[in-house]
Copies of this chain bind each other. A is one copy, B any other.
Amino acid sequence: MGKTNFAMATQSVLKGISQVLLIDNAWSGLLILIGLFFASVEVGFVALVASCLGTATAYLIGANRDKIKHGLYGFSSVLTGIASLLFLEGDSKYIAALVGAVLAVFFTVAFHSIGAHFNLPALTFPFIAVTWCIILASYSMSHLHLSDVTAVTAIHEMTNNQQTVDIFDTLFKDFGEIFLQNSYICSFFILAAIAISGWRNTIMASAGIVISIAVVYICGLNLHDLEMGFYSYNTILTMIAMGSAFHKNIRGSYIYVALAGILTVLLTPVIVIVLEPFGLPALTMPFVATTWLFLIIVNSVEKGDY
């Protein structure tokens, strides 16, 4: 019995990691976790603790057991914990990571409820909201210090006109970037996590990379940013969300999926610029904004009332 509970808890925690990629698979979560440990022991450890904390908090406040079991209360905590490590410095960043991981659960409850009014999932928005608050709050807190990487997802303007891209970087860095890591080995483990979760997710993730490369070239966006994966990690998430996790069988459904992918790339610099006056990184907001927009459209098409 205790063993079953332990197995259940382990599964919830690992799925809390895989659900960042909208994947409901504990083995995928384990592979990602190993990847994160390879990227940095610190990051791997915080991801594990944050997933445990998020899941435990959800359990304590009496959240839906089924949602907990599928990791739906862990993934925003995982990302918030990792982001706190990246954007802050000094020992207080660990406290921020833990507090952030707990807060993310409350934000998840709130945004689930608001989203439900529009028939939309919260996606990673709780993570985005909490992380933005932590970054902004740190400006006024003498015990919290911003690190230098706040501008990590800054899209460069055309003046920085790199002419060629390292295709290897371009193809693989984006997977790590989903967890804010700039590491090949981490990317490979995440890629493996997607691969074992099913062919549909794999195809969608690959298509996401192809679309982002194509759109970046066609529109003359910055090649260095493409290389760093800044344009593709959001696109990969949108493609998995629209083409797999929330896929709807409507007429021409894959045209909507492709359009959503393309729009994610186009919206990335838009959101980066809107956030510039506030000194905030875009995080996964391009994925969230585009997926909400297209879920509303696809829901309308399915109901036939538009």
Task: Please list the residues of chain A having a beta carbon within 8 angstroms of any beta carbon in chain B.
Answer: 61-64, 103, 106-107, 109-110, 112-114, 117-118, 132-133, 136-137, 139-144, 155-158, 161, 218-222, 251-252, 259, 263, 266-267, 269-270, 272-274, 277-278, 293-294, 296-297, 299-301, 304-306
Contact B62 A301 (CB under 8 A): yes
A112 to B305, CA, bound (A): 10
**B140–A296 touching, CB < 8 Å:** no
Can you add 17 more A-B contacts, CB < 8 Å, to A141-B219, A143-B220? A62-B301, A64-B305, A109-B296, A110-B293, A110-B300, A112-B300, A114-B296, A117-B117, A133-B266, A133-B267, A140-B221, A140-B272, A140-B273, A142-B161, A142-B220, A274-B278, A277-B278
Instruction: Name the contact of A61 in the complex, choosing from B113, B117, B155, B301 (C-beta under 8 A).
Output: B301
Residues on B with beta carbons closer than 8 Å to the beta carbon of A117: 117-118
Please give, as numbers and ranges, the residues of chain B lying within 8 Å of A263 by CB-CB distance.
Answer: 103
Minimal beta-carbon separation of A95 from chain B (angstroms): 10
Given A118-B117, A278-B273, A278-B277: A297 in contact with B106 (beta carbons within 8 A): yes
Interface of A is mostly: helix
A and B contact pairs by CB, cutoff 8 A, 12 listed: A63-B306, A112-B300, A113-B297, A113-B306, A133-B266, A136-B274, A137-B219, A140-B156, A140-B272, A141-B158, A141-B221, A142-B158
Q: How far is the CB of A143 from chain B (nearest CB, A)?
A: 4
Residue among A133, A155, A270, A293 having the largest count of chain B Cβ atoms under 10 Å? A270
Given contacts A112-B306, A267-B133, A222 and B140 within 8 Å (CB-CB)? yes
Is the pair B251, A62 in contact by a Cβ cutoff of 8 Å? yes
- Which residue of the partner chain B has the closest CB to A218? B143
- Please, how many angstroms separate the alpha-carbon atoms of A64 and B269 in the complex? 33
State whether B144 touches A270 (Cβ < 8 A): no
A298 to B304, CA, bound (A): 29
State the Cβ distance, A291 to closest chain B Cβ, in Å.
Answer: 12
Closest Cβ of chain B to A86, distance in Å, is 19
Min CB distance A230 to B, Å, is 11
A144 and B306 contact, Cβ closer than 8 Å, known pairs A109-B297, A139-B269, A278-B274:
no
Q: Provide the residues of chain B in CB contact with A103, threshold 8 Å.
A: 263
Q: A141 contacts B297, CB within 8 Å?
A: no
Chain B residue contacts of A136, Cβ below 8 A: 269-270, 273-274
Report the nearest B residue to A135, measured CB to CB. Answer: B270
> Is the beta-carbon distance between B144 and A219 smaller than 8 angstroms?
yes
Q: How far is the CB of A31 from chain B (nearest CB, A)?
A: 29
Closest to A161 in B: B142
The answer to whether A141 and B110 have CB atoms under 8 Å apart is: no
